[in-house]
Structure 1
Amino acid sequence: MNNIETRSLKQGMYFESPVFLDEGYVLLTPETPVSEMLLKSLIAWGFTTLLTEGSPIGRETPTQGGPTSNVQTATLDQNVKEKEGLSRARKFFMEMYRFTDKIFSRFKDDNILNLNAMTEEIKKAITMIRENDKYVLRFQEIVPHEGSEYMINHSVKSTILALTIGERLKMPNHKLIELGIASLLHEVGMLQIPSRIYDKEGALSEGEKKLINAHTLLGFRSLRDFSLPRDILLGVLEHHERTDGSGYPQGLSTARISQFGKIIAVACSYDAQISNRPFRSGRDAHTSLTGMLREMRSHYDEDVMKALLGILSIYPLGSYITLKNGYTGIVTETNNADFRYPTVKILLDKNKNILQDQPSVQTSEAGEMKIVSVLNNSEIENIKALLQTKT
């Protein structure tokens, strides 16, 4: 391909072949002219060169870009912002992953817990979530699937979810920080259990199940010596309690379970269901969430579940869906007016061709924009492989 300097572009110019922002994104098609808005956006974004196999035709059009070019530029602007947002979210997740890995290692090897460092890390996480919640919750896209340890991944994702729920429930900052620390440490008792047991591929024996179930009590006891606030300790101890009294270790029912225990129970359970483990594949986010809703009266606190639903929508952020018109998309934003109808970025047409512009649409109860199905993990991987051919 030929490099075209952005400064050489002129309003109204056409190209005989598609023009690419990079090798994976079509910026202009032969029938679309360069608009004034596009030129300003390219300068603002800092793009100095473009790619094309053809040459400019140089044909002039009216001085103001028409509706088509304005819509195209708006879509490009949206896609660039999304790309940047996901990049920030990936960087944030990996930094938090590495921090948690160090915290766990020092605690396991030397029985050292740096509470000040954890407080500062949770403060950064709260700020990131407030500014980028629609990106940091798209775990399907920001969390590495290779080369990461489940226990650390799970602790970080559960913390992000718990903090987002706490924010939704309007918890004060000092309680949010304590909730974040409790969630980050909620599986710390697992460090005292051999990894061959909690990562076992086959069915657990009764003795192994009892040992796994002891991790909440093990974590609670190991943290008592660090003068942590009571709410943090209770969050670690009670995150496997269930509202009908069927949980462990104490069989507590709704009124007796701490708020931290209720929040971490929902965050932990949701992430555990969508995550791959050696003994089973993760479920898609929609199936996991609807399953938890069915169990809400017996397992989970209603207010906490409503908060999670408001954050993720019934089709959680990052879910791949099919619309009634046959198009395939990914959920990118929730709808505060109605959690059933989120915003979807369209990726493929009904013939599974990759769309160049990938516009965002508001889904609806009926008509062509109605969500009719949610893709399973194998279908998602196929689409990702197809999209990869574009880059």
Structure 2
Amino acid sequence: MDSNLPGSNPPDSQPAVRAEALVDLAALRGNLDALRARTGSAAVMSVVKADAYGHGLVPCALAALDAGVTWLGTATPEEALALRAAGITADRARVLCWLWTPSGPWEQAVTAEIDISVSGEWALREVLAAVRATGRPARIHLKADTGLGRNGAQPHDWPALVAAARAAEAEGLLTVAGVWSHFACADEPGHPANEAQLAAFREALAVAEAAGLRPEVRHLANSPATLLMPEAHFDLVRAGLAQYGLSPVPELGGPADFGLRPVMTLQARLAQVKSVPAGHGVSYGHTYTTAGRTTLALVPVGYADGIPRHASSTGPVWLGGKWRTVAGRVAMDQFVLDLGGDQAEVGDLAVLFGPGDRGEPTAEDWARACGTISYEIVTRIGVRVPRRYVGALGGALGGTPVERLEGGGG
């Protein structure tokens, strides 16, 4: 049996761990291939913010490069700088960073040739100060607020921002490499906000063009727009959740419907199995009591590992070829399963979620059980859960193959 399949034992060379997140880099590459098949001439950006949605920043970025991606997307400057520190140079990938605050590491970003998102004239001033301090030109992407109401310049501020950026470009201080925005409701096809934002983005592009800007890339589409709105692809799409094999529109289709495969499998080994009588309370508050004599199994992960407390008495787990449900409250480090008349052994593998093709629950199943979205399920898996990487192409970090990197960050 393949040792990487849910329900199998680890190879002798790898000691059994309390819990692990198995990350299939071959699946990630396949997902990027499937997304590129939908985008025509538009390039695909691999969004690796939030530790690659919990999958591991550097290993997933390297896998994306193996798949032919040349753009990486991050939220924070620290994420972008970590990619450069890992040896991903500007000639291998453009790295865009979009969440900035005053007095951030602007100089380091300019020196590292990171593309910087600019949403207002205050940010442009900070970029220009970094350019003067380092003596190096910057690459920026101007962001327009087309209706999401978060970052980005409002329409009444947009012409002034564009003019200031164009003037700086004419002085040779920077290159306006991109113009971009972000959808609010792309996961709701037919929502009137989508067409309104598309129109507003085109208007923002027209203002930029009239001012003399000729950006390398214009980008608006996130994962749902990549799958469902080809008219929004422009020059570049930003693949976030979809590249990790999860559907951003589960009401319309699961991963397989879009040619995707979930990348992460979360599993843990039972720490205790015991028989208890009827009426026995289980976990804090005794919100669950046993209906009859039964077997309880202890799964050694809890909300400190990123298991939602909202999964109390609802979260699904695959054990012994069956779906089980969390019995009682999820605690900080552990939760309990009521096995009824079934038996198990300490050390047996419990699969919380995976691709689902062998019967195990998926991250979407957990999202529904907890009243949230699959984005939250995978990104919240914490640093106490080591990541184990399979399906690498021999991609290397400092000459060391990325095949088993443990720890939450990768």
The TM tier, using the shorter chain, reads 0.3 to 0.5
The higher relative CO (CA closer than 8 Å, separation ≥ 6) is in 2
Larger strand share, 1 or 2: 2
- TM-score normalised per structure 1: 0.32
Larger helix share, 1 or 2: 1
- TM-score normalised per structure 2: 0.31
